[in-house]
A and B are shown apart, each in its own frame.
Chain A
Amino acid sequence: AQKITQTQPGMFVQEKEAVTLDCTYDTSDPSYGLFWYKQPSSGEMIFLIYQGSYDQQNATEGRYSLNFQKARKSANLVISASQLGDSAMYFCAMREGYNNAGNMLTFGGGTRLMVKP
């Protein structure tokens, strides 16, 4: 079974509007971390935001926030006030466990976001 599922292969959003990118995950480990990365056309992977499974509050980083719904196993990324530079691929990823064994990031298939002027 897929551990990380991103159901939106591609999305359009109007500049200055907010957009939500969906991510659901599957794990039986009570300790895990969820991440979002941005990959622009130049290819690099840029870390955006992190949510730990025991964190009580949803993570926020500037225009990025993570809508963490633990019972539903979802970790959606919300980008407020979209900018043209937000056009990129976005990957949701999970790391299970907090000890050395939990070292691997498992990635979803990604969502391509296109911001329209």
Chain B
Amino acid sequence: EAQVTQNPRYLITVTGKKLTVTCSQNMNHEYMSWYRQDPGLGLRQIYYSMNVEVTDKGDVPEGYKVSRKEKRNFPLILESPSPNQTSLYFCASRQGYGGYTFGSGTRLTVV
């Protein structure tokens, strides 16, 4: 089944403790992206990647890092999480002109 897999689905962590949210797609898509969804602010792009070793900032990159060492994986790294990074995070991938396929989301709470 074609899909984007994110892990974990839920995560509660403490301020300053580094964490990684993993994302993997099995569709051989070139483009991958991370979004965060917040009430009243909608979905905003954090980072995107056009291919292996090619990444760029989206609208809200501060406090996040990404890497694209393999085509299928695009992890999101929070080096020192803060409470304002509490959010619902989505990984997505696409190929060509089509729409993004989204993962199931990761609900992150930073206390």
Residues of A in contact with B (beta carbons under 8 Å apart): 33, 35, 37, 43-47, 50, 52, 91, 93, 98, 100, 103-105, 107-110
Contact = CB atoms under 8 A, between A and B. Distances in A.
Contacts of B97: 33, 50, 52, 98
Nearest to A44: B104
B33 A43 contact: no
B45 A105 contact: yes
A91 B43 contact: yes
Interface of B (DSSP majority class): strand
Interface of B: 31, 33, 35, 42-45, 48, 50, 56, 58-59, 88, 90, 92, 97-105, 107
B105 A104 contact: no
Contacts of B44: 107
A50 B98 contact: yes
